[in-house]
Amino acid sequence: MNFRATLILGLSSLALLGGCATSRSVLDIPPPEARAAAQATGGEVFIVSVTDRRAFETAPRSPDIPSLDPGRGQDGAIKARAVGRKRNSFGRALGDILLKEGQSVETLTASSIRQAFAEKGYKVIDRREDTTPNTLFVDASVDKFWSWMTPGFSALTLSTEISTDLAIQSPAQGNAPGKTVTASIRAYGNYQTGMEGNWIEVINKALRAYIDELKAKLE
In whole angstroms, give the CA distance from residue 167 to residue 33.
Answer: 26
Q: What is the CATH number of the domain that holds 20?
A: 3.40.50
Q: Which of 107, 79, 83, 72 is nearest to 200 (CA)?
A: 83
Q: In degrees, to the nearest 5, what angle opens at C-alpha 68 toward C-alphas 84 and 49?
A: 65
- Kindly report the length of the chain: 219
Q: Which of 24, 10, 188 is nearest to 94 (CA)?
A: 24
| Tens-digit pLDDT profile for residues 149-184 | 988 777 889 999 999 999 999 887 766 668 999 999
Return the pLDDT at 30.
95
CA angle, 170 then 142 then 63, to 5°:
160
Which pLDDT does position 98 carry in this prediction?
97
pLDDT of residue 174: 65
pLDDT for 205 equals 97
Domain count, the chain: 1
Alpha carbons 59 and 195: distance in angstroms, whole number: 24
Q: How far is CA 49 from CA 67, 110, 117, 201, 204, in A?
A: 24, 8, 15, 27, 22
Give residue 79's pLDDT: 97
Domain that holds residue 139: 3-217
Residue 185: what pLDDT? 98
**By three-state DSSP, how is residue 82 classified?**
strand
Amino acid identity, residue 193? T
Backbone φ and ψ of 124, nearest 5°: -95, 120
Half-sphere exposure (CA, 13 Å, Cβ side) for 142?
27
pTM: 0.88
pLDDT of amino acid 11:
44
- Let me know: does 193 contact 14? Beta carbons within 8 Å: yes
pLDDT lower than 70: segments of the chain:
1-22, 174-177
CB-based contact 113:132 (threshold 8 Å): no
